[in-house]
């Protein structure tokens, strides 16, 4: 049990410490909103795409070997979505809260928190496997987000227009472009890029996860975080407790390998995705509710993830 606790501690604490550094730097006014916005732009458009592209390019993982993991991820996401919609139909009264609640349940922060934790746990193999998982499931996340938030979107006239708009955004998404490019490069069997390009790309990618976690910490409102009630608390409990339990059940049902099980659990147990706030605001949802859930789960999902990993490692599932 002690080794399991140390394993969980070692893979979650670096993320929490980097987020704490962001909080500290924000309090000392070393960083401000302008820095966070600029740094986040650099991470999303340059560093993280480089990290994903070169990690897939270097990997020896065959996508066909991950069909079991990807299929399980699809089923977990769909089940979480439908159960959240069912709950929201009966228990979430305000229409502006319904889509935000549903999105908080099924959409996790795979690109930053999830990927960083997977790398801490499994190194380059985890990075490659996590990148493939993230690239595929992110597309599903975006489609389901359009559906659940479309009830409050007043900026477009119909579902078809919203779907076309989201498809266009996905086609321009730097992370998806990087992953598709890497998969195409490997599929075509092209020779490895020159070493100076590879090293440059890896250096650019190396700053992605630390900088993103510092920005996440600097963006948190600690006062708001501990004032959750009502729908925000229900959504947070769903993300922190219910979603990981569903992932464990499906991981056992589909007999995932220990590494695949670990990747699935970490990706699903991660806090609410930062993109959920952006999409809620853009499509007329309750953006204040989205921000509160984001802040609360960003910290407490890490604790839940650590406890979950320790238990799963003790019983030999990860």
Structure tokens at 70: 């990807």
Measure the CA–CA gap between 256 and 34, rounded to whole angstroms: 43
Q: Coil, helix or strand for 318?
A: coil
- Region at 230 (left for phi over 0; alpha for psi -120 to 50; beta for the rest): left
232 in Cβ contact with 296 (< 8 Å): yes
* H or E segment and range at residue 260: helix 258-269
Residues 6+ apart with CB under 8 A from 81: 102, 105, 106, 144, 148
Residue 272, SS3 per DSSP? strand
CATH number of residue 126's parent domain: 1.20.1530.20
Total of domains in the chain: 1
Beta bridge partners of 108: 272
Euclidean distance between CA atoms 308 and 52, whole angstroms: 26
Domain holding 283, by residue range, is 2-314
Supply φ then ψ for residue 60, to 5 degrees. Answer: -105, 10
DSSP assignment of 64-86, as one string?
GGGHHHHHHHHHHHHHHHHHHHH
Sign of CA dihedral 280, 281, 285, 287: positive
In angstroms, the CA 209 to CA 116 distance is 6
pLDDT for the residue 172: 78
Q: What is the pLDDT of residue 101?
A: 94
* CA-wise closest residue to 141 among 255, 37, 12, 279: 279
CB contact set of 23 (below 8 Å; sequence gap of 6+): 217, 218, 220, 222
pLDDT tens-place values along the chain, 318 residues long: 667 778 778 888 888 888 889 889 988 989 888 988 888 888 888 998 898 888 878 777 667 778 999 999 999 999 999 999 999 999 998 888 999 999 999 999 887 888 888 988 898 888 888 888 987 888 888 788 878 887 665 555 565 666 676 677 667 778 788 888 888 888 888 888 999 999 999 999 888 888 888 887 887 766 666 666 688 889 999 999 999 999 999 999 999 999 999 999 999 999 988 777 767 776 777 877 887 888 788 878 888 888 899 999 999 898
Tell me, what's the pLDDT at 209?
Answer: 82
Give the pLDDT confidence score for residue 164 in this predicted structure.
72
Tokens of 180: 């598709």
Answer for the pair 220, 91: CB distance below 8 angstroms, yes or no.
Answer: no
Cα 123 to the center of its chain, rounded Å: 18
């Amino acid at each position: 049990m002690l080794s399991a606790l140390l394993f969980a501690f070692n893979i979650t604490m670096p993320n929490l410490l980097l987020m704490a550094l962001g909080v500290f730097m924000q309090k000392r006014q070393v960083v401000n909103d302008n820095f966070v916005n600029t740094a986040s732009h650099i991470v999303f458009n340059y560093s993280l795409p480089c990290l994903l592209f070169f990690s897939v390019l270097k990997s020896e993982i065959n996508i066909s070997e991950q069909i079991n993991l990807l299929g399980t991820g699809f089923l977990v996401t769909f089940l979480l979505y439908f159960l959240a919609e069912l709950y929201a139909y009966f228990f979430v009264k305000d229409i502006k809260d319904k889509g935000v609640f549903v999105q908080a349940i099924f959409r996790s922060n795979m690109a930053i928190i999830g990927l960083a934790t997977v790398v801490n746990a499994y190194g380059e193999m985890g990075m490659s496997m996590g990148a493939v998982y993230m690239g595929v499931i992110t597309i599903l996340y975006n489609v389901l987000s359009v559906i659940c938030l479309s009830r409050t979107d007043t900026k477009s006239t119909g579902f078809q227009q919203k779907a076309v708009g989201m498809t266009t955004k996905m086609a321009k998404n730097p992370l998806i472009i990087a992953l598709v490019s890497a998969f195409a490069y490997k599929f075509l069997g092209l020779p490895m890029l020159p070493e100076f390009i590879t090293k440059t790309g890896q250096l650019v990618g190396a700053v992605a996860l630390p900088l993103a976690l510092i920005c996440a910490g600097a963006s948190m409102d600690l006062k708001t975080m501990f004032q959750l009630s009502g729908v925000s608390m229900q959504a947070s409990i769903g993300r922190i407790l219910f979603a990981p339990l569903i992932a464990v059940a499906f991981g056992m049902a589909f007999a995932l390998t220990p590494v695949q099980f670990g990747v699935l659990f970490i990706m699903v147990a991660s806090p609410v995705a930062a993109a959920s706030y952006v999409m809620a605001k853009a499509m007329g949802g309750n953006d204040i509710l989205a921000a509160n859930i984001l802040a609360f789960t960003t910290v407490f999902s890490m604790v839940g993830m650590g406890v979950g990993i320790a238990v799963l490692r003790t019983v030999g599932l990860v």
